[in-house]
Amino acid sequence: MRTRAYQHSLSGSSMAAGQPLLEVEALSLAFGGVKALSEVSFTVTSGSIHAVIGPNGAGKSSLLNCVSGLYRPTAGSIVLNFVAGEEGRKRTQRMSAPSDEREAGEKSIERRALTRLKPNRVARLGVARSFQNIELFDQLSVLENIMLGRHIHMKQNLAAAFLWTGPARKQEIAHRVIVEEVIDLLKLQAERSKPVGTLAYGIQKRVELARALAMQPALLLLDEPMAGMNAEEKEDMARYILDVHELAGVTIVLIEHDMNVVMDISQQVTVLDFGKVIADGTPAEVMKNPAVVEAYLGAQK
């Protein structure tokens, strides 16, 4: 019997761990008179799980929407760093050869502002995301949903698509191989050909993670991947996120409400309250911060 190992790196960034990957600087976002974000600054380092927490309405999702290009911030900048020549489709070629551990130091780092880009351009730079309210393509199967994660890496040739035999089929099969590795990693084999609309909530959340991971992202943004789950499901999901982080080596920005989960799996925590950063640091530091305690539990009398 033949066994298969993971042949493709699912991380789209070969930046050395600890280098700044995403730099958010003085980001502000206002909807009319409502200030959703004001002067938010923080840095996500390569190879970490960075949690963003805060009470309801603190601006966490708005922040993520700004990064992925769905909202246009009123002021400030968001910069993605990557090793030069690795953005977008160019990464596909690198993926086909087993990626050797290259020193990022010898490569020049390129900085790209995300602030003025449309969502699809941001995605092409390697920023993948999941949504708070599941936004899967309901009528498509799990496989087709995850295949859509490969969209940025695939050529769009209409004539070849009409013909099917030839380049179109070859491309489908080539990308199917990577999709199958994602399916293996997230244990979605049994659900592969089911329409996602019929699946249980927890599995749909996992399909969203898989779809984002199939992009071979440089940065993975997860908006409340464990919302509405019971303790056991949360534990499973946390395990999958850790797998994605440790086995696939993807840098993750995570929005989460459950403090226990955040403290357990993240290396860096940014706390938002009323659109402002009130604390930033390791989980242990943040937990001791009086401002955080006040925001979450109310001031002690």
Question: Which residues would be at the binding site for other proteins (CB under 8 A)?
Answer: 68-70, 118-120, 122-124, 128-129, 131, 135-140, 144, 147-152, 154, 156, 158, 160-164, 168-169, 171-173, 175-177, 194, 198, 211, 215
Q: Closest distance between other proteins and the C-beta of residue 208, in Å?
A: 9
| Closer Cβ to other proteins, 169 or 288, answer by number | 169
**Complex with other proteins: residue 26 or 163, whichever CB lies closer:** 163
**Least distance in Å: CB of 279 to other proteins?**
28
Question: Rounded distance, CA 227 to CA 13, Å?
Answer: 28
**Residue 48 Cβ, how far from other proteins at the closest point, in Å?**
22
Cβ density class 261-283: b for 16+ within 10 Å, e for less: bbbebbebbbbbbebbbbbbeeb
DSSP string of 181-222?
HHHHHTT-GGGTTSBGGGS-HHHHHHHHHHHHHTT--SEEEE
Residue 67 or 286 with smaller CB distance to other proteins: 67
87-94, long-range: CB within 8 Å, 24+ apart, which pairs? Answer: 87/112, 87/124, 87/125, 87/126, 88/124, 88/125, 88/126, 88/152, 89/124, 89/152, 89/153, 91/12, 91/126, 91/153, 91/216, 92/153
C-beta of 17 vs 177, nearer to other proteins: 177
The CB density around residue 8, as the number of other CB atoms within 10 Å, is 16
From CA 30, how far away is CA 119, in angstroms rounded?
Answer: 19
Q: How far is CA 109 from the centre of its chain?
A: 21
CB of 256 to other proteins, least distance (A): 19
Minimal distance, residue 110 CB to other proteins, in Å: 19
Least distance to other proteins, CB of residue 168, Å: 5
Give the nearer residue to other proteins in terms of CB position, either 3 or 108: 3
196: left (phi over 0), alpha (psi -120 to 50) or beta: alpha
Q: What is the C-alpha to C-alpha distance for residues 130 and 145, in angstroms, rounded to an integer?
A: 12
CB of residue 207 vs other proteins: minimum separation in angstroms?
Answer: 12
Q: Which lies closer to other proteins via its Cβ, residue 94 or residue 150?
A: 150
CB of 121 to other proteins, least distance (A): 8
Could you tell me which residues come within 8 angstroms of residue 121 by beta carbon, excluding any fewer than 6 positions away? 69
In the complex with other proteins, the residue whose CB is nearer, 23 or 144, is 144
SS3 category, 72: coil
For the purposes of burial, counting CB atoms within 10 Å of the CB of 300, is it exposed (0-12), middle (13-18) or buried (19 or more)? Answer: exposed
Cβ-based nearer residue to other proteins, 113 or 177: 177
